[in-house]
Amino acid sequence: MSRFQARRLLLGCSAGEVVLLADPEAGTATAQQLVAQSVAPASAALADVSAALCAALQTLKTARPEAFASVADARSPARSPARLLVVTLDDSLARSFVVTPPRGAQGLRELRATAAARFAALYGESADDCLLVGDWHATSPFIVCALPRPLHQALDELAQAHSWRLASLAPALIRVGNRLCTAIPADGWLLVGFGLTLTLLNTCHDRVVATRSLRLPCAPDLATLETLVEQERLRSPGSGESARGQSLLWAGAADWLPEPTTIAGLESRTMPLSGVVSPAATGSAAAQLALAGRRP
């Protein structure tokens, strides 16, 4: 047998780095870093960041097999199961938004057309260059993630080049939301923090109503976070309603996630993701994002 059995590979992508980890089959063991590749976008614009990420992924795509030798299976390639690649993206790398289906919506095609129209209304451009992925619902609002097609293609080609299977691809909001779905407030906000990206998901009467991602200039203090929450309450479609019953759930791995139990007059709690440790231990937000793809 090999020294380090890992069938799942965890890839974390931020605007500044790509990190690939091997997730050992023993769930309590520490993930092993295989590659850390810097990303140097020409600007902070999504198109430039996506292009720089594609270039970094091309480097991983052409890496020699020896770079991943530590996770090689001692069995023959014909008998070895395919490695599963789980990718988690920083929320700044995908555009996530809420879509309200039209009354009497009929089928996935109409929901996709509605999502494309919503994308164009929000961002002033066609959705043709994006892959739209959503938790499609015909009767209630749902989240759609728009991923640049070149980035999705680069990830798919990386997996194919090394005979891996792209098993899962999600931005941090979706990864965290799926893990903590039963804990998300029915009325309030889920706030996800990795690195300097903060994503806010607003819920009302147990339905999603809005989401947006912020790129923070620096690690925020408590006063800054309180101001952001107060601004979100004003932006919320239910801002005229009483705050009674609303609450905040903070999650992720950023070291600035708050500890107080009340923020901006709302009940607040923080739930660090199990298996995702502090930046000092993992070295970067990209590594934290990769670890977010571990099984709970």
Query: Which CATH architecture is the domain 182-274 placed in?
Result: 2-Layer Sandwich (3.30)
The pLDDT averaged over each successive group of 10 residues in the chain (296 residues) is: 66 96 74 91 93 94 68 51 91 97 91 97 96 94 97 96 95 96 95 97 94 96 96 76 81 94 95 64 82 88
Determine the CATH number of domain 8-92+148-173. Answer: 3.30.420
Phi-psi region for residue 246, left (φ > 0), alpha (ψ -120 to 50) or beta? beta
pLDDT at 275: 65
In one-letter notation, the amino acid at residue 220 is P
pLDDT of residue 73: 52
pLDDT value for 277: 55
